[in-house]
Chain A
Amino acid sequence: MSTRLATQGRLINRDKRLEFTFNGKRLQGYEGDTLAAALLANDQMLVGRSFKYHRPRGILASGSEEPNALVNLGEGARLEPNQRATTTELFHGLTATSQNHFPSLEFDIGEINNSLARFLPAGFYYKTFIHPRFAWKHVFEPFIRQSAGLGKAPKEADADRYEHFYAFVDVLVIGGGVAGLQAARAAGEAGARVLLIEQEPHWGGRAPVDGAVIEGKPAEDWVKDTLQALEAMENVTLRNRMMGAGVYDHGYALGYERVADHIPGSDLPRHRLWRIRAKQIVTATGAIERPLSFAGNDIPGVMLATAVRDYVVNYGVSPGDRTVVVTNNDDAYRTALCLKRAGLDVPMIVDVRPLVTSPLATEALQAGIRVETGKGIAKVKGRKRVTGVALCLQAGEGSVIEEVKCDAVAMSGGFSPVVHLWSHCGGKLIWDEANAHFRPDPARAPTGAQGEAFVVTAGMASGAMTTGEVLADADAAGKAAARAAGFTPRRFAAPKAAEEPSEPMAPVWMMPQGASYDLRMKMWLDFQNDVKVSDVQLAAREGYESVEHTKRYTTLGMATDQGKLSNINGLAVLADALGEDIPQVGTTTFRPPYTPISMGAIAGEARGEIFQPLRRTPIHGWHEAHGAHWEPVGHWRRPYAYPKAGETVEEAVHREVLNTRRRVGLLDASTLGKIVVKGPDAGRFLDMLYTNMMSTLKVGRCRYGLMCNENGFLSDDGVVARIDEDTWLCHTTSGGADRIHQWMEEWLQTEWWDWKVYVANLTEQYAQIAVVGPDARHVLERLGGMDVSKETLPFMGWQEGKLGGFDARVFRISFSGELSYEIAVPASQGLAFWEALMEVGEAYGMQPYGTEALHIMRAEKGFIMIGDETDGTVIPQDLGLHWAISKKKEDYLGKRAQARSFMDNPDRWQLVGLETLDGSVLPDGCYAIGEGTNANGQAEMFGRVTSTYYSPTLGRGIAMGLVHNGPQRMGEVIRFGTPDKSFVEARIVDPVFYDKEGEKQNV
C-alpha cells in the first residue's frame, strides 16, 4: 500500500484539497502535490505499461528523470500526451489517463509480448527488416505500428497561447538548489546581472529533504534566508517553473517557462520560451540517482531511494508500509532512517559493500534496522506490485539465501551529475573512479568565439558530493562567472555546512555480479524503452562496439527521458561485455532539450492570424469587400478573380478576360517590385545585371529586360524605366522584389564596391494600378489631368503628372496585349485613386480583374511568366528571347555560362505554343511522350507543358510548353500523357495566339 501519512509533507497545504481524475477515477490530493505524489497517496502505484513488453509500470522517481509515469494530461483542445506525473503540479479538475495499454491499465492484452520477450531481442526491429524480406511490410510493420507508441496525439487545435522572450544577462544560473542559490548570490554580490532559473516550483533542491545543515541552521531556513537576500538584489531575477532546456554557441541558452500549466484556462501564455544571451552560464543542475540492475527492478513498488524520501518528506506520502532498501552507497541509509522516523517498517538494508561502519550505518543499526552487507537482491517478487525480495550474495550467481516480504524497494546505485547542459555545447567529461560517474572536466569547458570558457558547473553538477563541498564549489563558480563577465567578486567566504562523513560507494552494474541469463533478461536498464542488461550484452556479442551504435541498435536511452536513468548503467554493462574500461567506451551525445518542451513554446506567438506575415496592398480591403477570391503570391494575397453572385470562379475569370479585351479592366499591380537604381555607374551596373542594354535607354522610355544568375539561368524579368540621366526604376516580379534588391546589394557590396551606385526598394511606396483595354485611354481622359494621348505618351513611354488630382507616374506598358497604362501613385493615396478610377470607369463598363485573367491574357500573347516557363534550369534562349540578349555587350551576368556547349546548343527543350486537336485544355505540367522507354524503364519524354489555360478570347484551350527542338517542329502533332493515363494530341504552334502583330497595344 502507498498512502498519505498523517505527518510531514513540507510542500503540501493540507488545508486545500484538490479533486482530480485518473482513468476516470475521482481522486483527491492537496495543493502542492505533484500528480505522482497524489497518485501514490491514493495507492495508485501502477501508472502505465512499458513500450515494448507492456509490463506493468509504477512511479520510479520524483523528478524530471522519471521514465514510467507518463500520462495523457487534459482533454480535447488541452490534451497533451507523455506528461511526466512527477513534474506535473496538481490542480483542481486535473484529468489524466494512463498510456500504452489495451483495453485497460489493469488488464492489458499487449502483455503477451512479455511472454514473447525471448523473441523480441535487441535489434528486433532491424532484424525484421531483413529476415525474411517480405515479412516487414506484411507482418511486422502492421504489428509494431499497432503496439508501439506512448500517448495519444491530440486531435483538436491547441487552446492555449505561447510566447517567446529575449533576455540578456551577465550570468545565467541554471538550477535553484543550494548550489544555484549560492552561485547566484556570489555572482549577484559582484554586481552582475543574474538570472537564476529552477525547473521546479520550489527552491532549494534536495538539501532540505536530505537534512543538510548550513551555517548552523537547517537547509530549509538557509534557503529561505538566501532567497530573501537574492530577492533584495536589483540585479538578480529569480524564475521558478523554468527549465534550462539547452546551451548553445555564443552563450545562447533556452529557458522553458511553464507559466500556466498549473492554472489552465487562466488566459496567460501557457509556456514562455526564453531565448537568453548570457556572458557566462553556471549549471547547478544537481545529480540523478542511478537504479541498480537486479531482476525485477521494474516491478511497481521498486523506486529510487531518494524518490522514496522525497515522497515522505515533501508530500507526506509513503510508497509502502514495508520497504527494503538496497544500495551501494551511504545515501540510501537516509531513506531507511527517514522511513523509520515516519513510523514505517524497514525490514532490511541490503548493502553490496562487505563492511560498512559509517555514522549513517551506525545510526541505522541503532534505529533497529537490520543491515545485510555483501548482499544483493536476486530477484523481486510480484507482478503488478512488489510482494517481496529474494536475497543473495552480491559476489555469487543468485542463489537465494532468504526471502523477505515487503511492498516497496528503495534502490540506490550511486549518483551521476547532470552534465547535459555542460555537454550540449561541447563541454567534455572525465570519469571519476571514486564515485563511479562522469563529471565535467573544468579544463575542457564549452568555449566562445575567443576560445574562452563560457559555462561553469556548480555543486553536485561538478561532482561535489557533500553539502560543504557543494557550497564551496558553487560559491567559486558564481564568483568565477562574475569575474569572467567583467565583475569583481566580493571576498565573502562560502557558507559552511555540517560534516557528512561517509564510506566510499562500491560500483555495481549488475546484481548479483554473476547473474544467470534468466536473471539478466529481467534486469531493466531503460524502463521506458524496455532495454535490459541481456539486450546490451547481445548487442556487444553481435559486434556493436560503439556506444552510439549500441544505443541505436537496442534503443537504450532513446525514449522521451533520453536515458537519464539508463545511460551510465547501460554503457557500464557494454564496457564490461566488451572487456573495456568505462571511459574508453564513453557516453552518447547529450542533446537539447533537457526534457521535452512543447511544440507550442517553439512556435511562440506564431499561430492563427499571425502564423505568418500577410502582406496587404493599399487596396486589399476593397478587394475583400468586393468578394475577391484570393491567391497567395509570396506573402501577398492577390485577388485571383472577383466572382459575382451566382458566378463560379472560372466564370468570373472568363468574364474578366473578355471584358478587358472588349472594354476596359482594372488590375491592382501594387505587388510588382520597384527598385530605384541611381548613380554615375548605374547604367553600367544595369548592363551587367540585365541581358540587354539598359544604359542606352532614353529618359522617358521603358524597356523590357531579363536578369540571369551566374549560371545563365533566367531569374527575373520586368520593365525598366529611365527616370533621369543617372536614375533607373526597375520593375521586378511580385515574388522577386526582395530577392532582386538583395541581389543588387550583394553585387554592389562584394564585387563592384567601387562603383557609384545606390539602390533602394520602393515596392511599397507606390500603389500601382493597371488600366487595360480598348477604352483605357477614355477612362484616364475622363479622370482629367495629364495628356495620355498616343503622341504625348506612346507605347513604352512614361510620364509624371497629375491624374484626377493624384500624383501619378504613368507607364505605357502592356502585359495583356491591350492598350494599357500602369499608374503608380503614393501608397497612401492608392485606395482613393482606385475608387476614383472605378467611378469614372463605370461609364465604360470597367471591371476589376484578378491574377488569373492576367495570366490568361499574357499566355494568349505568348508572354512568359517567371516560375511557369522558368524553373531555375531554363535560359532565355530556351524561351526564344534572343532578341532581349545583347550581342554587343562585352559581359553580363550569365553570359559566360550561356556560352557553354550544352547551353549554346539547339538540342534543348525550347518554348513553343501548343494547341490540342480537340480544343481541350492540356493538364498543367503534363509530359510529351515519345516512343519506347529510357534506361529506367520509364516512357521516353521530350517536352512538358509550362502554362495551360482555356482562352475565352479564342474559345479553346491554349498552352505553352518546352519541347525538344520545338521551334523546328512547327505543325507537328505530339502526344501528352494525362494523369488518368490517356493521351491528348496537340499541335506545335507559335506561342503567340493573339494579335501577333501587336497592333492592339500600340494604339
Chain B
Amino acid sequence: MSDRAVSPLAGAESSGFAKVSEAGLRGMITLRGDLADAGFAGAVKAVTGCDVPGRREVVEQGGKGVAWMSPDELLVMVPHAEAEAAVAQLSQALAGSHFLAVNVSDARAVFTIEGAGAREVLAKLAPVDLSPEAFGAGQIRRTRLAQVPAAFWLSGEEVFTLVAFRSVAQYVFDLLTVSAKAGSEVGFLAR
C-alpha cells in the first residue's frame, strides 16, 4: 500500500545560507555478507547496476546506489516501492551463502542540504573534515550529527544527502535548520 506510505516530515523545507529539505521516502536495504565475494558483488550489481564501493565510499546511478557501511555491511538504495522486491532478489541470488538482507527504508529519514554553505552547516554538527580537499564526491561518512547517528555524502556539486533514523527526523531537521540560519555562515570552508 505504498500510496498510504508517508515520509516522516512530509517533505519539510527550510532555507538559510543552505537549503534543507526532507527528501521523502527512499528504498534502503541493509545488506551484510562477504563484500569480497564475487557472487555477492554480482548480486549487488544485478539489483543496483553498481559495483561494491570501497571503504567509506558510495556509488549512485539512475536512482539507485550502494554505500559502504562497515567491512561486512552495505546500504543498498533503490526507489522506495522497489525495496521489497530488491530484498527478494538479493535473497534469491545469495541463497546458500551467509548473508542478511533486510528492508530498512522506513527506519530512515533522508535529507538534502544544498548550497554553497552546505559543508559548513554539517561542520557545525558533525566531527568530520568537510573541506573539499578532504571530503569529495563518492565519499560517505557514518558519523554523529550533534546527538544522533547519521551518514552523509555528496550527491552533487553542492548537494549533500543525509540519512538519519526516522524517529529523530524532526530533531535532525531542526538541527540543520538552526545551523543554516542566515548570517551564521562561518566563512572557514567557503571563503
Contacts and interface: CB of A to CB of B under 8 A. Distances in A.
B168 A614 contact: yes
Contacts of B1: 805-807, 829, 832
A680 B178 contact: no
B167 A764 contact: yes
Contacts of A900: none
Given A676-B100, A764-B106, A613 B171 contact: yes
B183 to A, nearest CB: 5
Contacts of A848: none
B161 interface: no
A284 B104 CA distance: 52
Nearest to B108: A764
A267 B166 contact: no
Given A764-B166, A764-B167, A832 B186 contact: no
Contacts of B6: 828-829, 831-832
Interface stretch (B45-53, B60-68, B127-135): B127-135
A163 interface: yes
B123 to A, nearest CB: 5
Nearest to B102: A760
B89 interface: no
A272 B166 CA distance: 29
Contacts of B108: 764
B112 interface: no
Nearest to A836: B4
A684 B5 CA distance: 37
Interface string A604-642: 111001101111111000000000000000011000000
Contacts of B183: 266-268
A193 B166 CA distance: 38
A762 B105 CA distance: 10
A609 B170 CA distance: 10
B188 A760 contact: no
A237 B72 CA distance: 40
Contacts of B142: none
A266 B123 CA distance: 22
A612 B124 contact: no
Interface in B80-120: 80, 84, 98-100, 102-108, 120
Interface string A252-280: 00000000000000111100100101000
A633 to B, nearest CB: 12
Contact of B188 (A237, A609, A827): A237
Contacts of B165: 615, 764
Contacts of A617: 167
A636 B106 CA distance: 17
A838 to B, nearest CB: 14
A763 B124 contact: no
B170 A826 contact: no
A828 B123 contact: no
A165 interface: yes
B167 A615 contact: yes
B151 interface: no
Interface string B177-191: 011000110111001
Contact of A679 (B100, B123, B184): B100
A609 B187 CA distance: 27
Contacts of A883: none
Contact of A614 (B107, B170, B179): B170
A280 to B, nearest CB: 16
Contacts of B178: 161, 163, 605, 610
A765 interface: yes
B32 interface: yes
Interface in A735-767: 756, 758-760, 762-766
A22 interface: no
Given A758-B99, A764-B167, A826-B105, A168 B5 contact: no
A760 B70 CA distance: 13
A910 B186 CA distance: 60
A166 B123 contact: yes
Chain A binding site: helix, strand, loop or mixed by DSSP? mixed
B148 interface: yes
A266 B181 CA distance: 13
Contact of B106 (A267, A759, A765): A765
Interface in A177-198: 193, 195
A997 interface: no
B35 to A, nearest CB: 13
The size class of the interface chain B forms with chain A is: 35 or more
Interface in A789-844: 805-807, 826-829, 831-833
A479 interface: no
A756 B6 CA distance: 36
A38 B97 CA distance: 78
Contacts of A759: 100
A999 interface: no
Given A165-B124, A829-B1, A760 B191 contact: no
Contact of B98 (A166, A605, A679, A826): A679
A165 B104 contact: no
A826 B5 contact: yes
A166 B126 contact: yes
A171 to B, nearest CB: 14
A341 to B, nearest CB: 40
A670 B124 CA distance: 32
B174 interface: yes
A615 to B, nearest CB: 4
Contacts of A618: 8, 166
Contact of A605 (B107, B134, B175, B188): B175
A49 interface: no
Contacts of A168: 129, 131, 134
Given A764-B165, A806-B1, A756 B123 contact: no
A678 interface: yes
B14 interface: no
Contacts of B175: 605, 610
A167 interface: yes
A237 B191 contact: yes
Given A760-B100, A826-B105, A614 B8 contact: no
A518 interface: no
Given A168-B129, A168-B134, A763-B107, A829 B4 contact: yes
B155 interface: no
B106 A616 contact: no
A762 B126 contact: no
Contacts of A57: none
Contact of A758 (B32, B127, B184): B32
A234 interface: yes
Contacts of B125: 164, 605
A613 B84 CA distance: 30
| Residue of B4, B25, B108, B183 ringed by the most chain A CB atoms within 10 A | B4
A985 B63 CA distance: 69
A880 B9 CA distance: 46
Interface in B126-158: 126-131, 134, 146-148
Given A605-B179, A614-B168, A828-B6, A766 B106 contact: yes
Contacts of A756: 98
Contact of B167 (A636, A679, A680): A636
A800 to B, nearest CB: 12
Contacts of B186: 165, 272
Contact of B5 (A676, A760, A828): A828
User: Which 4 A-B residue pairs are closest in the complex by CB-CB distance?
Assistant: A828-B5, A758-B100, A827-B106, A168-B129
Given A168-B131, A617-B167, A765-B103, 6 more contacts: A165-B188, A237-B187, A614-B168, A827-B166, A828-B105, A833-B4
7 contacts: A168-B131, A272-B186, A758-B98, A763-B107, A826-B5, A828-B6, A829-B106
